[in-house]
Structure 1
Amino acid sequence: MMTAQPAYFIPHGGGPCFFMDDPQGMWTDMAAFLAGIPATLPERPKAVLVVSGHWETDGFALTGAERPGLIYDYHGFPPHTYQLRYDVPGSPGLAARAADLLRGAGIAATVDQARGLDHGVFVPLKVAFPDADIPLVEMSVDRGLDPALHLSAGRALAPLRDEGALILGSGMSFHNMRAYGDPRATTRSREFDAWLTESVALLDGPRAERLAAWADAPQGRFAHPEAEHLLPLMVAAGAGCGPGERVFAGEVLSTAISGFRFDDSREGTF
């Protein structure tokens, strides 16, 4: 019997940031956190399911290709970053299983046989699992951006953890492009980060209520003018069931950035 894998919400950085010159060491701590994830797992995952804030669809979609290509969905970076490779196998079986679980919960889901992996997936995973030898499936966020729906999707996907799949939500805990690099944003980003960290640590029911109302949180709409980079956290929180904990805390471009882990048992307060 396999030990249940955790669920994580990871920051994926900016563009191909981990594969560029970084004289200020801006991304050093985040890269070290990502590289350290495998050592925190109970055993090697059978597969990885990554929810990306860079793919929005009507309902949820999952990549079903045997060998997914890469989508270089960033602009203005050095030429070599458009030559990055991550030749990871896909997992059509995991994609089909995840879609079935979502549909079984009354949630729309499809499998996309053609789509590749965007940078919200291959950039952080190239750091965390550089050998590219663990089958990988990407999942979209729903275009309606409803946090409660994404929490429900996470709950529906929770059985995958018992089947050896690592669930990763890939986004950013702060994602206001106009505020990055502005020192005036530091205090405001820390306010939201404190609220988020406190909310994540709650039991299932209270946590879901808080996260579903994230836009009313202190500095919520400042931290996320749009929700797409926060919604992968909702999926991870729904899948994790037990209280979450902050496992990465850093500051990038004058803003607080965090990562979270969810595991524990299926015992909750619903």
Structure 2
Amino acid sequence: MTEASRLPTLFIAHGGGPCFFMEWNPPDTWRSLEAWLRGLSVEVGDKPRALLVVSAHWEAERYSVTAHPQPSLIYDYYGFPQHTYELQYPAPGDPALAEEIVRRLGVAGLPAEIDRERGFDHGVFVPLKLIYPQADIPVVQLSLRAGLNPAEHLAVGAALAPLREQGVLIIGSGYSYHNMRGYGGAGQRPSIEFDRWLNEALTADPETRKERLRDWERAPSARAAHPREEHLLPLMVAAGAAGQDIGKRLFGELVFGVATSGFRFG
């Protein structure tokens, strides 16, 4: 794959549970985010050979990578309508890619292992049902590592960056704001303050971006936006894999009362 056709990396907001596949009041609560996700395949352009998704909903003692040839789905949300527990996304896995990911992380000195049983959690299958609804592209999920060290997750992205030239689309699936007490509007002000900082950090030169992301807790309203940072850490992997590419905000709106953003690198 030439540099011109090298795939970008993405950081997406994956919504709340199966939010795009049920009714809400008001009915347009998630509509703008849904529309953006549905259009992302056009934004990416070239059809990927495989998808590598880092979800906020899987943490492990070592970086773990799914390697089942036909992964199941994990309905890891609670209290939603029954039909949302019957959603399907029959994308195949890619055991060979999983092995390569573990090898690359090992070379970089990062502890990693294969998980041959785990399926895809909702941070993977819910947004992918919108982005690539045909489910015909192999998908591999990578966990976060317990401890949630931002510098280490940036290093994970850097170790996996060469996969972009092999047709692998790297997606960080989390949320730019994740404080359950703030949705619905209560967190609007801190979400806007943090979102402004995040946009400035991600659109800066790569060295400045890396420095700011390592020290993200110093950002305005950082802990108000992320009392616990598991929904921010997928961004670190996507940004780490960006290399010298400058970030660009593709989505930025109030969703469910809080500032919500999505980014592309490359």
Distance 1:188 1:223 in 2: 6
Distance 1:110 1:144 in 2: 17
Task: Give 1:72 shift.
Answer: 0.2
Question: 1:155-174: per-residue Cα shift (whole Å, max 9, x none)?
Answer: 00000000000000000000
Partner of 1:51: 54
Structure 2 residue identity aligned to 1:160: L
Count of residue correspondences: 262
Q: 2:160 aligns with which of 157, 160, 172?
A: 157
Distance 1:31 1:37 in 2: 10
Matched, 1:62 2:65: yes
Provide TM-score, normalisation by structure 1: 0.95
Provide TM-score, normalisation by structure 2: 0.96
Question: 1:207-246: per-residue Cα shift (whole Å, max 9, x none)?
Answer: 1110111111100000000110000000000001211011
Partner of 2:82: 79
Q: CA RMSD in A?
A: 0.9
Matched, 1:238 2:253: no
Structure 1 residue identity aligned to 2:142: M
Partner of 2:124: 121
Contact 2:172-2:237 within 8 A present in 1 as well: yes
Task: Give 1:23 shift.
Answer: 4.7
Task: Give 1:59 shift.
Answer: 2.1
Structure 2 residue identity aligned to 1:60: Y
Distance 2:23 2:45 in 1: 33
Question: 1:54-97: per-residue Cα shift (whole Å, max 9, x none)?
Answer: 00001211100000000000000000000001001001111111
Gaps of 5+ in 2: none
Task: Give 1:206 shift.
Answer: 1.0
Q: Secondary structure at the match of 2:199?
A: helix
Q: Secondary structure at the match of 1:158?
A: helix
**1:27/1:184 CA distance change after superposition, 3 Å:** closer
Gaps of 5+ in 1: 264-270
Contact 2:181-2:187 within 8 A present in 1 as well: no
**1:113/1:79 CA distance change after superposition, 3 Å:** same
Task: Give 1:178 shift.
Answer: 1.2
Matched, 1:106 2:109: yes
Greater mean deviation of Cα atoms: 224-233 or 246-255: 246-255
Greater mean deviation of Cα atoms: 244-253 or 155-164: 244-253
